[in-house]
């Protein structure tokens, strides 16, 4: 299972409640030992007719509580061995007790603690914990001691141990609530005490809370509907408890067993049903609110994508024909481009791709787009590609843009010399397609090596010149076009993209729409996962 990173506040709360649970158990065990040492029977059991918590049981619970505390919060190796040692000691002595019951023999450990007191207060097997207590302690000690590994069998064994360790005391608590004491006793004075059952449940809960990286806690915390699941578990667990408690109230009021059980079942059903109905209505209202917010957000993102598209140019005609396509993905992104004649001899073209998806990269793309079009950068600078990249790199460092950088391809075409001066910053290379009579189409990559804009302050940008032959077509594209997710779980490479476009360029009338359709056919869903921007320059 993938590792889940908890919010610091949540992790601290889980640890705090886990430690509180262990502290309550340690308090009960101390009082139990005080009761045995002083002969105060009320400290060893709440009701005279119920079984007592034996000294061995108190010692087991205290040792398990200490082991849980030692092993919590990703301990150092030394603490790990101490915690596992305490848990192993509990497991070994619990096995001895189980063996005593299985063989019908005594190995001399029952009355090791407070022998006179246990002989006086217990008529059957003085000092010996019940088999239910021994088994639950054995499985809990195994759950505490087992290491966390990625092996599936270890996780399975741990889950079985924890479930068994919690089911046994859980059944015991219900037995006390419904006066089924025979389920927790093996003799007149030997059985699982109610304080023992509650202590084991608290220690089991503490084991889970203090190790939130374990299943099922890690699974529960990774669920987006974890609060609903926790409430549902609480409602389910509360039903038998409500029935048992209300039954005791009705019996105390003088009602018979049958009447008390009937009324308590009705009371529990009403309370649980009302609570479930309330939470169902609340979840429904929250779901409707979330749906409305989602629809509103979708509408706003579609509006933002339409606004982004409206900023892009829609083509040029003349001695250099230009067509372009802007295909926003399902998430708003940071693609933008422009091309225009800044004087009679110079055509400027650029394509920008801001890192990330969402509102932030889109806003940064709009800011860059507006800056380049507004005249904020001097006309002399706009004619020098590397100077443009250098100025933008100084203005838009990623540590000032919430860690967003951008790739960019920038070119200036001089019509009088048929020269394209270009520079790029981490962007995919533009492809220049040319063909001579009787020869196949060739693709020339137009790119300069450089880091994206905004990554390093000291980045030096360079430019290159390309002599544009007659009939040449140049393709600019964002990585949303050349890094497609393919149907076979592979990704289209830049080499593969170059092959596809070169093959299409063999037709003198090829268009961006043809390229887009062919690329879509290669994807499993028929859509682009990332923003896809393309510009085609056609030279006479």
Domain boundaries, the chain: 8-222, 224-311, 312-539
Tokens 């030992």, residue located:
33
Q: Which residue has the tokens 């706003």?
A: 300
- Is the pLDDT at 152 greater than 60? The verdict is yes
pLDDT above 90 covers a percentage of the chain that reads: 46
> How much is the average pLDDT of 206-233?
74
Region 87-105: what's the mean pLDDT? Answer: 94
Bridge partners of 442?
434
φ and ψ at 476, to 5 degrees? -105, 145
The pLDDT score that the predictor gives to residue 3 is: 47
pLDDT, average across residues 411-438: 91
Which of 243-247, 277-281, 432-436, 527-531 is least confident?
A: 527-531
The larger pLDDT score, comparing residue 24 to residue 359, is at: 24
User: For 66-75, what is each residue's pLDDT tens digit?
Assistant: 999 998 877 7
Lowest average pLDDT, out of 9-18, 366-375, 459-468, goes to: 9-18
User: Which pLDDT belongs to residue 421?
Assistant: 97
Task: Report the alpha-carbon distance of residue 249 to residue 267 in Å, rounded.
Answer: 11
Q: Which fold has domain 312-539?
A: Phosphatase 2c; domain 1 (3.60.40)
**Contact of 144 with 206, CB cutoff 8 Å:** no
Determine whether 507 is exposed, middle or buried from the number of CB atoms within 10 Å of its CB (0-12, 13-18, 19+): exposed
Higher pLDDT pick, 146 / 147: 146
CB atoms within 10 A of CB 210: 23
CA distances from 464 to 232, 352, 468, 501 (A): 66, 19, 13, 23
In eight-state DSSP terms, residue 36 is H
Q: Is the peptide bond before 464 cis (omega within 30 degrees of 0)?
A: no
Residue 387: what pLDDT?
Answer: 95
* Residues 316-325 pLDDT 10s: 998 999 999 9
DSSP state of 123: S
Q: Does 1 score more than 60 pLDDT? A: no
pLDDT in tens, 103-128: 989 888 988 888 888 888 777 888 99
Closest to 200 measured CA to CA, from 140, 146, 157, 256? 140
First vs last Cα of the chain: how many Å apart?
60
- From the list 420, 425, 429, the residue with the least C-alpha distance to 394 is 425
**CA atoms of 197 and 152, how far apart (whole Å):** 30
Q: Determine the pLDDT at residue 218.
A: 66
303 pLDDT exceeds 90? no
Taking the CA atoms of 301, 307, 312 and 315 in sequence, report the sign of the dihedral they define.
positive
pLDDT of residue 431: 94
Taking phi over 0 as left and psi of -120 to 50 as alpha, with beta for the rest, 23 belongs to alpha
pLDDT grade, residue 382 (50/70/90)? very high
Give the pLDDT confidence score for residue 335 in this predicted structure. 87
The 3 state secondary structure assigned to 414-429 is ECCCCEEEEEEEECCC
Task: Using a cut of 0.75, tell me whether the model's pTM lies above it.
Answer: no
In this prediction, residue 214 carries a pLDDT of: 63
Is 70 exceeded by the pLDDT of residue 261?
Answer: yes
Non-local (6+) Cβ contacts of 164 within 8 A are 135, 136, 139
With pLDDT > 70 as the criterion, what percentage of the chain qualifies?
95
- DSSP conformation class of 344: S
The predicted pLDDT at position 139 comes to: 96
Higher-pLDDT residue of 438, 18? 18
Per-residue pLDDT band for 342 (boundaries 50, 70, 90) equals: very high
Side-chain-facing half-sphere of 464: CA atoms under 13 Å: 15
d(CA 248, CA 171): 17
Tell me: pLDDT of 419 over 70: yes
Task: Render pLDDT for 451-502 as a digit per residue (tens, 0 to 9).
Answer: 999 999 999 999 999 999 998 999 999 988 888 888 777 888 888 899 999 9
**Spatial CA neighbour of 72 closest among 12, 6, 26, 28:** 12
Is a pLDDT exceeding 50 seen at residue 243?
Answer: yes
Please, which pLDDT band fits residue 166 given cuts at 50, 70 and 90? Answer: very high
Tell the burial category of 312 from Cβ atoms under 10 Å away from its Cβ (0-12, 13-18, 19+): middle
């Amino acid at each position: 299972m993938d590792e889940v990173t908890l919010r610091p506040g949540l992790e601290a709360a889980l640890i705090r409640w886990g430690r509180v649970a262990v502290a309550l158990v340690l308090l009960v065990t101390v009082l139990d030992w005080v009761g045995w040492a002083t002969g105060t029977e009320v400290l060893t059991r709440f009701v005279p007719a119920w079984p007592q918590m034996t000294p061995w049981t108190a010692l087991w619970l205290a040792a398990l509580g200490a082991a849980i505390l030692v092993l919590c919060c990703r301990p150092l190796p030394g603490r790990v061995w101490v915690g596992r040692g305490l848990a192993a000691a509990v497991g070994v002595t619990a096995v001895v007790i189980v063996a005593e019951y299985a063989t019908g023999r005594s190995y001399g450990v029952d009355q090791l603690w407070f022998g006179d007191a246990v002989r006086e207060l217990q008529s059957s097997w003085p000092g010996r914990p019940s088999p239910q207590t021994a088994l639950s302690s054995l499985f809990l000690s195994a759950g505490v001691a087992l290491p966390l590994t990625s092996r599936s069998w270890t996780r399975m064994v741990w889950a079985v141990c924890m479930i068994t360790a919690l089911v046994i005391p859980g059944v015991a608590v219900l037995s006390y609530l419904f006066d089924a004491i025979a389920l927790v006793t093996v003799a007149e004075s030997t059985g699982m005490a109610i304080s023992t059952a509650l202590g084991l449940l608290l220690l089991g809960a503490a084991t889970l809370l203090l190790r939130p990286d374990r299943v099922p806690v890690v699974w529960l915390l990774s669920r987006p509907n974890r609060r609903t699941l926790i409430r549902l578990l609480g409602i389910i667990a509360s039903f038998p408890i409500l029935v048992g408690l209300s039954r005791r109230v009705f019996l105390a009021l003088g009602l018979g067993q049958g009447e008390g059980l009937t009324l308590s079942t009705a009371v529990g059903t009403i309370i649980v049903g009302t609570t479930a109905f309330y939470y169902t209505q609340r979840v429904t209202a929250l779901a409707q609110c979330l749906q409305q917010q989602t629809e509103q957000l979708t509408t706003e993102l579609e509006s933002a994508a339409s606004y982004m598209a409206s900023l892009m140019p829609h083509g040029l005609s003349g001695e250099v024909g230009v067509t372009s396509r802007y295909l926003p993905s399902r998430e708003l992104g940071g693609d933008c481009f422009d091309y225009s004649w800044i004087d009679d001899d110079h055509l400027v073209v650029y394509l920008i791709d801001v890192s990330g998806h969402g509102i932030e990269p889109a806003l940064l793309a709009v800011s860059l787009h507006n800056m380049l079009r507004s005249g904020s950068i001097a006309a002399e600078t706009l004619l020098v590609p590397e100077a443009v990249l250098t100025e933008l790199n100084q203005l838009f460092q990623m540590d000032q843009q919430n860690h967003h950088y951008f790739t960019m391809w920038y070119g200036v075409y001089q019509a009088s010399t048929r020269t394209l001066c270009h520079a790029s910053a981490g962007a995919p290379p533009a492809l220049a397609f040319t063909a001579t009579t009787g020869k196949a189409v060739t693709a020339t990559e137009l790119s300069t090596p450089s880091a994206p804009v905004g990554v390093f302050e000291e980045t030096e940008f360079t430019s290159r010149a390309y002599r544009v032959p007659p009939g040449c077509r140049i393709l600019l594209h964002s990585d949303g076009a050349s890094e497609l997710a393919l149907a076979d779980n592979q990704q289209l490479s830049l080499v593969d993209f170059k092959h596809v476009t070169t093959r299409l360029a063999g037709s003198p009338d090829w268009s961006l729409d043809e390229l887009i359709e062919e690329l879509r056919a290669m994807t499993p869903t028929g859509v682009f996962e990332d923003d896809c921007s393309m510009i085609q320059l056609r030279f006479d």
